[in-house]
Amino acid sequence: MTSMSSLPPALRLGVNIDHVATLRNARGGVHPDPVKAALLAEQAGADGITAHLREDRRHIREHDLAALMAAISLPLNLEMAATEDMCNIALDTRPNAACIVPENREEVTTEGGLDVLGLRGRLTPILAKLKDAGIRISLFIEADDDQIKASADLGADIIELHTGRYCDLPAGMDRDMEFNRIKAAARLSQSLGLECHAGHGLRFDNVAPIAALPEVVELNIGHFLMGEAVMMGLKPAIIEMRRLMDEARQQ
Ligand code: PXP
């Protein structure tokens, strides 16, 4: 019989509500409201809300952050670039966690992982200020041993593994290799005392193998859920994602 202590930790779902704001911004005005989406996500069983304040403010804006912090009881994971400006906004907002992502103005979405090794000099003072304010530090990186070790050396609390490549590849050897890289990275991060999250590109049809990795304790999912919200509604989409995650976890 399996003892309770041998079960993997519960898998949290962080719902990224950026694209509700993208839709709102397409027309200006206030509809649809990302805060309302966050509250619906909470009712549907989300464990956290994620929002990315981009330099060009193409989706979430500063006033959304303040409104989210006032309205939600779930922890907020603020995705942000490693800049002085963003650091000051995070210090004012006081999210539960700041997830540092690479940011390139022209990209459609976050394209690769953060080069923690190469950016050590820039990251060190920013992470120190965030940590001093009690904000947990998450670094969004590729499943790469050197980047994971550098994240641990810098004192990150969390690494979020970029699952975009795994999600984009068709079924086959290349995808299996990418999955194995993520699996090994999740193990390494846990052995170094880092909390392991994963995200980017996750959908109903590809979430299960990632959700089944016992070292991964949180998935952050946005674009697919918002797309499905148009088709089936936001709450049913989140409930179905939760179900698939829980089912994979139990196996
Ligand atoms: N995690 C991080 C760090 C991201 O930048 C994004 C995209 O904003 C996500 C997760 C969610 O990715 P997706 O929208 O493809 O689900």
- List, for residues 124-151, the tens digit of each pLDDT value: 999 999 999 999 999 999 999 999 999 9
**Confidence bin at 2 (pLDDT 50/70/90):** very low
pLDDT over threshold 70, residue 4: no
- Give the pairing type, strands 48-52 and 76-80: parallel
Structure tokens at 242: 């939760």
Interaxial angle between packed helices 34-43 and 62-71, expressed in degrees from 0 to 180 and rounded to the nearest 10: 30
The response to whether residue 109 sits with its C-beta less than 6 Å from ligand 1 reads: yes
* Nearest partner of 203 among 161, 249, 247, 166, judged by Cα: 166
The reported pLDDT for the residue numbered 119 is 95
The response to whether residue 163 sits with its C-beta less than 6 Å from ligand 1 reads: no
The response to whether residue 140 sits with its C-beta less than 6 Å from ligand 1 reads: yes
136: DSSP letter: E
pLDDT over threshold 50, residue 1: no
CATH topology of domain 12-250: TIM Barrel (3.20.20)
The reported pLDDT for the residue numbered 106 is 63
pTM for the structure as a whole: 0.95
Secondary structure (DSSP) of 50-77: EEE--TT-SS--HHHHHHHHHH--SPEE
199 Cα–ligand 1 center, Å: 6
For the chain, what is the mean pLDDT?
Answer: 94
Mean pLDDT of 88-111: 86
Minimum-distance ligand 1 atom for the alpha carbon of 79: 3
- Each residue's pLDDT tens digit, 198-244: 999 999 999 999 999 999 999 999 999 999 999 999 999 999 999 99
The reported pLDDT for the residue numbered 107 is 66
Q: How many CB atoms lie within 10 A of CB 227?
A: 13
Q: For residues 57 and 90, which has the higher predicted lDDT (pLDDT)?
A: 90
